[in-house]
Chains A and B, each alone.
Chain A
Amino acid sequence: EPEVTQTPSHQVTQMGQEVILRCVPISNHLYFYWYRQILGQKVEFLVSFYNNEISEKSEIFDDQFSVERPDGSNFTLKIRSTKLEDSAMYFCASSGPRGEKLFFGSGTQLSVL
């Protein structure tokens, strides 16, 4: 069964450093998303991406965040200068032409020290 793949599974970084989280969505999907879950809190929407541009973003997704689809398969989330409060599990998701059903990756646990 096709799946969303995320790398790395764990990322530890120093505050102020840049990180790039990588995702390979399901190959025929058209919509791509990043969500995050801070420990003990709910899963929160960050950004959606369609047709090579951001279609929606939340208040969390400020100027420190960016997304890119550098080639036909990868979808990345970059945090330019990490803060302690960026520590969370980051989930990539994708959905097909009808869009409603999102498939999630296993997540990248980001720890900012």
Chain B
Amino acid sequence: DQQVKQNSPSLSVQEGRISILNCDYTNSMFDYFLWYKKYPAEGPTFLISISSIKDKNEDGRFTVFLNKSAKHLSLHIVPSQPGDSAVYFCAASGSGAGSYQLTFGKGTKLSVIP
């Protein structure tokens, strides 16, 4: 049961261009969405998040867009840099009582080509 789906396992982008990573979800109870970046042999590192009351959140080169009606979010990285090469995980949570467990997608491996 994939409640959070990242349908592209990999993406290659030229340095300086825009990277767009996509994520779809099925659970209407999700109200908080996060993107994590993961390098090999390291834990996921928080990148950017968005609450369901917003449709856009921007932090430097990173922008997350949320389309609630389509249950879709995307992460834009512009301009892309070789250091951005990593696996990107989309994650979602619903603010239930007691904890904020995250449901992760399978990840998209981004390769930024110099």
Contact = CB atoms under 8 A, between A and B. Distances in A.
Interface of A: 4, 6, 31, 33, 35, 41-45, 48, 50, 55-56, 91, 93, 95, 99-107
B43 A104 contact: yes
Q: Which of B46, B93, B100, B107 has the most CB of A within 10 A?
A: B100
Q: Is the interface of A mostly helix, strand, loop or mixed?
A: strand
| Residue of B43, B49, B96 with most chain A CB atoms under a 10 A cut-off | B43
A56 B43 contact: no
B83 interface: no
B105 A33 contact: no
A55 B98 contact: yes
Given A4-B43, A106-B41, A101 B105 contact: no
23 contacts: A4-B43, A6-B43, A31-B100, A33-B101, A42-B89, A43-B104, A43-B107, A45-B102, A48-B99, A48-B100, A48-B101, A55-B98, A56-B96, A93-B43, A99-B99, A100-B32, A100-B34, A103-B46, A104-B43, A104-B44, A105-B43, A106-B43, A107-B42
Contacts of A35: 102, 104
Nearest to A55: B98
A55 B93 contact: no
B104 A42 contact: yes
B45 interface: yes
Given A42-B105, A100-B32, 18 more contacts: A33-B101, A35-B104, A43-B89, A45-B101, A48-B98, A50-B99, A55-B99, A91-B43, A93-B43, A100-B34, A100-B49, A101-B46, A102-B34, A102-B100, A104-B44, A106-B41, A106-B42, A107-B42
